[in-house]
Amino acid sequence: MNKAVFSLLLASTILATGCMATRVKRGVTTQVQSSPAGALVFTGDFYLGDTPLAVDKPTNLTIIKPGYAPVIIDSGTNQSIHVTLVPSSPQAYNTFLATGVRFVYRADTGLLKIEPQNRPVRVGSTYIIRDTDRGLDVQYTVTRVAGRLVYLETNLGANIIVPIIRVPEHTQDDEIPIP
């Protein structure tokens, strides 16, 4: 088993036991692939594209897919890597999505809001959502807003990442897509 495969298997094992980011070392030009595909790739808060994606001179890349734990690539070589994303708190994520709640950035106002509550979103904002399957209220707190994503932590210790829907100035409310 080569060192890269071992590192990715070790990272997957760590992620399966908790929702912490994985750090994988690589070189200068990297073909980033993920299972499942379509994960968002960032350097800092700058969005580079979705997997699969060729990245030149990667530095501090973060691979994120809503519902999965993030993977962080510190540096790279001229190699192709494949990251298997590990589900992260699927019950908390599914409860959040089932309510129809979404984070919407409206270009006409320049504001990020949670809808349908129509409340502004800031780090530290808290939202209570009823988990009907478990019969309890779950508190979601915004821990970070970066790029196209909102990071949330629940009072039950789960961490989830939810995409931001960007709405141009001319879009009607009934035309807003649900992620």
**Do residues 113 and 58 share a domain?**
no
For 86-96, what is the mean pLDDT? Answer: 80
Domain finish residue from 57, 84, 111: 84
Instruction: For residue range 10-45, list pLDDT tens digits in order.
Output: 333 333 333 444 444 444 677 888 899 998 888 776
For 89-101, what is the mean pLDDT? Answer: 81
Of 11-15, 94-98, 141-145, which range is least confident? Answer: 11-15
**Do residues 46 and 25 share a domain?**
yes
For 91-95, what is the mean pLDDT? Answer: 81
Contact predicate 107/77, CB 8 Å:
no
Kind plus residue range of the DSSP H or E element containing 13: helix 3-17
Q: What is the pLDDT of residue 73?
A: 75
Domain finish residue from 65, 84, 103: 84
Q: What is the pLDDT of residue 66?
A: 76
**Do residues 29 and 105 share a domain?**
no
| DSSP code string of 54-115 | EEES--SEEEE-TTB--EEEEEB-SEEEEEE--B--HHHHHHHHHTT-EEEEETTTTEEEEE
Mean pLDDT score of the chain, rounded to an integer?
A: 74
**Do residues 117 and 66 share a domain?**
no
Give the residue numbers spanning the domain of 101: 90-175
Number of domains observed in the structure of the chain: 2
CA angle 66, 112, 175 (to 5 degrees): 75
